[in-house]
């Protein structure tokens, strides 16, 4: 029985995870739940080894309809989560501050163009003075 449970949960464990990197916001254009921004990596933890700078196009996607079910919980960011994250990115751009930016699961999906990625939602999180923004693409 335990082996069956492990086999059933294994794909979920493989889907979870992500990484973040310290970045500068080089360009920023956006509204409340959508934005186009360019980030420059400040360390060797790049999301794409061939790109020192990437462009991210954020187009918010609603939380999946099935997330209200008690046994199915989506961690996809809400509209409010995304709005707070966009405001944080805008402030960091205007004040020339560094940001910890990352992804969860398939959080940044490559577009047709080199070094350009698509995000469907952002979440600002952190502990005490340490903050980071995680990008989501597909519901997790």
* Total of domains in the chain: 1
Compute the average pLDDT of residues 83-91. 95
Residue 8 has what pLDDT? 41
Residue 44, pLDDT score:
85
Q: How far apart are alpha carbons 45 and 69 in whole angstroms?
A: 37
How many other C-beta atoms can be found within 10 angstroms of the C-beta atom of residue 67? 14
Sheet of 53-59, strand order: 109-110, 116-119, 53-59, 34-41, 18-30, 98-104, 130-136, 121-127
What is the residue range of 99's domain? Answer: 31-136
**Per-residue pLDDT tens over the stretch 24-52:** 999 999 887 789 999 999 988 888 888 99
Provide the percentage of residues in the chain whose pLDDT is more than 90.
51
Q: Which residues contact 73 (CB under 8 A, 6 or more apart)?
A: 67
- Note whether residue 26 is domain-resident: no
Q: How confident is the model at residue 107 (pLDDT cuts 50, 70, 90)?
A: confident
As a whole number, mean pLDDT of residues 67-88 equals: 83
Query: Where does the pLDDT of residue 76 fall: very low under 50, low under 70, confident under 90, or very high at 90 and above?
Result: confident
Asked whether residue 101 carries a pLDDT value surpassing 90, the answer given is: yes
Give a yes or no: residue 37 inside a domain. yes
Q: How far is CA 70 from CA 7, 15, 73, 81, 99, in A?
A: 23, 21, 7, 21, 34
Query: Does any domain span residue 123?
Result: yes
Assigned domain for 25 exists = no
**Model pTM score:** 0.80
67 is a domain residue? yes
Backbone φ and ψ for 26, nearest 5 degrees, come out as: -90, -35
pLDDT of residue 105: 75
| pLDDT band, very low/low/confident/very high, at 92 (cuts 50, 70, 90) | very high
């Amino acid at each position: 029985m335990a082996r069956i449970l492990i086999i059933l949960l294994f794909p979920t464990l493989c889907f979870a995870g992500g990484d973040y990197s310290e970045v500068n916001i080089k360009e920023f254009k956006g509204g409340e739940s959508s934005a186009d921004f360019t980030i420059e990596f400040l360390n060797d933890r790049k999301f794409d080894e061939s790109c020192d700078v990437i462009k991210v196009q954020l187009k918010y996607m609603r939380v999946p309809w099935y997330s209200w079910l008690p046994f199915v919980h989506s961690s996809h960011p809400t509209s409010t989560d995304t709005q707070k994250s966009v405001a944080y990115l805008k402030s960091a751009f205007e004040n020339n501050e560094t940001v910890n930016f990352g992804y969860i699961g398939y959080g940044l999906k490559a577009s047709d163009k080199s070094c350009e990625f698509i995000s469907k939602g952002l979440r600002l999180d952190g502990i005490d003075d340490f903050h980071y923004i995680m990008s989501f693409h597909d519901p997790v």
